[in-house]
Amino acid sequence: MSVDIAQVKRLKDLTGVGLTDAKAALEASNGNFDQALKEMRAKGLTKAEKRGERQATAGVIGSYNHDNRIGVIVEINCETDFVARNEIFTNMVKDVAMHIAASNPEFLSQEQVPANVLMQIENELRDKLISEGKPKDMVDKILKGQLAKYFQERCLLEQPFVKNPDISVGEYVKEHNARLGENIVVRRFCRLALGEVE
């Protein structure tokens, strides 16, 4: 089956794969662009997971200022200065900073939540479930789902990405990991809002 060269180029640009791989993916999906993109992203994310073990000590500190009322600083690391200066990487950093301004995450990831905070939240949710009269044998199962939802709303890497809510911020970063061929790590962030008191 012949595929549209414009679709091949678009798939290449979105995933960072070569033209040959993009064309093969479109042919395998009978020209279905969305299916080909899904398959290529899945392959890219698998490779990205393997890259996650490599050192990421280069990178940039990016910032975003929204209407002089909300300011964000974020450190995102990669493996080389070459990638740190790449426009794709710097645009990703800006997107993540903009997401932080819009979504106000409290934590980087669930793994970064201090143990005492995690325990406090778990106890509060458990007490609420018990006071609502939920069956004792169901409390732990319900609690697990509520904790996942709680942290999805408050952890940067687990939040739905503001520019594409179908993926999380963590998945958005991994897609760039796949496109740029390097381990990319969101290291830390700070968000300030005018008049907000800590």
End-to-end Cα distance, the chain:
60
pLDDT at 42 over 70: no
Closest CA to 63 of 54, 73, 51, 53: 73
**Average pLDDT value over all residues in the chain:** 85
Higher pLDDT, 88 or 48: 88
pLDDT band at 184, cuts 50/70/90?
very high
- Each residue's pLDDT tens digit, 100-116: 999 999 999 988 888 88
pLDDT at 19 over 80: no
- Each residue's pLDDT tens digit, 142-168: 888 888 888 889 999 999 999 999 999
Which CATH number, 3.30.70, 1.10.3470, 1.10.600, 1.10.286, labels domain 114-154?
1.10.286
Region class of 91: left (phi > 0), else alpha (psi between -120 and 50), else beta = alpha
Superfamily of domain 58-108+155-193: Elongation factor Ts, dimerisation domain (3.30.479.20)
Our CA angle for 151, 152, 158, nearest 5°, is 115
Which residues touch 187 (CB under 8 Å, ≥6 apart)?
59, 75, 76, 77
Which residues touch 121 (CB under 8 Å, ≥6 apart)?
147, 150
